[in-house]
Chain A
Amino acid sequence: MKLLRTVAFNLFTWSLVLLIAFPLIWMVLTSLKPQTELFRIPPTWLPQSVTFEHYWRLLTETPFLIYFRNSVVLATATTLFVVTLGTVGAYSLVRFRYRGRETLALLVLFTYLLPSVVLIIPLYLAMVWLGLSNTLMSLVLAHTTFALPYALWLLRSFMEGVPEDLESAALVDGATRMGAFKDIILPQLLPGIISTALFTFILSWNEYLYALVLVNTDSVRPLTTGVMSMLISAFNIEWSLLMAASVMMSVPLIVVFAFLQSYLTRGFGAGGVKG
């Protein structure tokens, strides 16, 4: 009886999981079909002949790798920038007392409300003024507009979850504030920092609108807009290449998250995201 229940539960849950993952499975299957099989009506479920030509074409005939590198650089730089600022900022917001602190925390939440569409043109002008137009740096700064409030907010609640007495004890023992921050707070906060970093990375990796407007050259274009503009045009939608590109855009994330998955949940558990 118990065994039967276990089997039934597993079957049910796994079919649900597979249903959720179906679009991804379909993406992989499509990327392996030759172009001629793609437009068959009705569609074939499994590829009748498997081909890797789409992957090969992407890697050799298109700027895919350059877009890919841009996306990696962009997401990494954004993450480093935002998480560094966010950690120090959150430390200040949670553990220091000064005037305007509460207002500042509220303002952070408010900036989170701004729709990207509003900021684009003024932001673009600011980038030109700074001499940053058409560079990855301009996208890093643009991504900061939504990533920093979010990261600051997450880190603030993680920081609140770090017990205060540890820091106090270190201060009593003669440590400086920054010393205590480095030796006591940072290690405690690490799971929170990692999960914030992951979320920031995802946000930046996936952003589309700013990338569409702020950069125009292939040498700095990230994957999202690069793949779209390369493979979808008024005269053709290269579904097979698109699916192959989608698979390759996702592989690095799978690898990273396979390793860091536990941090993602542990971070939330430790900090206990609070209001």
Chain B
Amino acid sequence: MSPRRLTPAVPRRAVLGGLAAGAAVAAMPRRIVAQDKVTIRWWSPQSSPEQLAAYETQMRNFEALHENVEVVFEKTSDEGYAPQLAAAFASGEVPNVVTHLPSFAVSNYWRNGLLEPFNDVIEMIGPDKFYEGANDIYEVDPGQYAGTGIGNSAANMMWLRTDLMEERGVEAPPRTWDEMLAAMEKLQGGGIYGAPLPYGRNSMTTLIFIGFIHGAGGMVFNPDLSVAIDSPETRDALEFYKAMRQYCPPGATNYSWGDSLTAFVSGACATGIYTGRVLINVNTQNPDIADHVTCVRYPTKSADIDFWTFNDFPSVFIPKAAPNMEETKQFAAFLFDPEGYIQQLHAAPGHVLPVLQTISAMPEYQNNPIIEKYSEEVDKMAAAAANGFNLGWESREHQPNAKAGEIVNSNVISEMVQRVVLNDENADTVLSETATRIEEIMNAN
């Protein structure tokens, strides 16, 4: 992939011109597009080189079918999308299609009237191709879909090193928290830490810890969205999370997704907590351990509490103010065209899992070295993700929570973890303050 192809908009003059001339030319606005040409802007925070290559295929395939359309990919980032979209919505200069944002961002924008109903696109894709219930989370208002999933993810899988388990006498993957602590005791040592759990003031800590609250049998909100976080279950989760601190690297207090993943992939931690992205990273960055990794669903407090999989439901949506709505919808539907979609999924096999059951069944999808090598793990993740939830939708009984994004971004839950685990503050005080702050956010606006 050449850099030039990524940036078709660079005028040749600016490249060739002298520095001063280049400055003048490149600094000029360059929105001059041929009259009849329709431009579709596509934003996503996911842009690894392999994914970009897949997007490229999708865009060129679409352009081949629609001669008057030019699709431009513009990347955003997990920490940058909020201000960028805010600026875009405020000005009306919105992208046409946005993918891979968590589902709760979609419901928030929907509630504020910023999104185009996605029903047409789902019709174009074919509603019966989706896994059953896959679009429920996007049905914020009855009968109207705010978007759909571009994939599923199982983000809190527990990754294990089978070689270390064998060497240190851990016979089976832990099922309960007690077993987990016992396993940690054995696995830690010799320069290797037990687990890369995040204790940072960031969204990962919030999202992962919500999984632990559910792992104790609790929840953040009741199904009617009244705040339920101040509960004995949350106290149990905090206690366990605190007990785990000694098995995590010292810098875990600042860990986010990338650090946590690297800590497992580099071999510094005996277990990991992440999506299927682990598979490709292990194979490219640390092939020595590639034959010794497997995953299970993250342990819960006791065997009678069911697993709770965190699925951030990477989404697709269309801003209401987007120009050229007809072409935009066609393109959004085209994202699910098997050729490009499978290449996109293969960019990180097991990381983003298909939302269409028709795709999962295709030999083209199954035919990938990683998916073949780890077929058991991929199946396990697919099953877990299909039954996954997040703060925007904590269980099937829950109403979609349009404020989930603000709660995650406010860091109120990760701050709670830090105050109890790192600062040793009294859990009762912290919990009641946290509950109050969450209520405030729910009531704002």
Contacts and interface: CB of A to CB of B under 8 A. Distances in A.
Q: Find out whether A and B make contact in their complex, taking CB atoms under 8 A apart as touching.
A: yes
A211 to B, nearest CB: 10
B7 A66 contact: yes
A64 interface: yes
Interface string A212-243: 11101111100001001110111111000000
Given A233-B47, A235-B258, A219 B266 contact: no
Contact of B29 (A72, A137, A237): A137
A164 to B, nearest CB: 33
B172 interface: no
Interface stretch (B20-28, B118-126, B408-416): B20-28
B72 interface: yes
Interface stretch (B74-82, B130-138, B355-363, B421-429): B74-82
Interface in B395-426: none
Contacts of B3: 60-66
Given A135-B27, A137-B28, A121 B7 contact: no
Contacts of A74: 27
Contacts of B286: 36, 39
Contacts of B191: 41
Contact of B26 (A70, A125, A214, A216): A70
A124 B91 contact: yes
Nearest to A125: B91
Contact of B22 (A66, A73, A140): A73
B81 to A, nearest CB: 10
Interface residues of B, number: 56
Given A218-B75, A235-B258, A235-B277, A140 B49 contact: no
Given A121-B90, A235-B348, A69 B74 contact: no
Contacts of B76: 216, 229
Interface stretch (A7-15, A126-134, A173-181, A189-197): A126-134
Interface centre among B1, B10, B23, B30 (most CB of A within 10 A): B23
Given A124-B90, A234-B78, A131 B31 contact: yes
Contact of A73 (B23, B83, B285): B23
A76 interface: yes
The contact size tier of chain A is 35 or more
B277 A229 contact: no
Interface string B167-196: 000000000000000000000000100000
B26 A136 contact: yes
Contacts of A225: 80
B351 interface: yes
Nearest to A218: B7
Contacts of B259: 237
B375 interface: no
Contacts of B43: 216
Nearest to A131: B29
A77 interface: yes
Given A70-B26, A217-B9, A235-B351, A39 B268 contact: yes
Contacts of A120: 83, 87
Interface in B253-296: 256-259, 261-262, 266-268, 277, 281, 285-286
A233 B48 contact: yes
A118 B1 CA distance: 39
B91 A217 contact: no
Interface centre among A35, A64, A72, A124 (most CB of B within 10 A): A124
A254 to B, nearest CB: 18
B91 A128 contact: yes
B368 interface: no
Interface of B: 1, 3, 6-7, 9-10, 14-15, 19-20, 22-24, 26-31, 43, 45-49, 72, 74-78, 80, 83-84, 86-87, 90-93, 191, 256-259, 261-262, 266-268, 277, 281, 285-286, 348, 351
15 contacts: A66-B10, A76-B23, A77-B27, A124-B90, A133-B93, A216-B75, A216-B76, A232-B258, A233-B47, A233-B77, A233-B78, A233-B258, A235-B277, A235-B348, A237-B262
**A-B residue pairs, 4 tightest by C-beta:** A39-B266, A128-B91, A234-B257, A219-B7
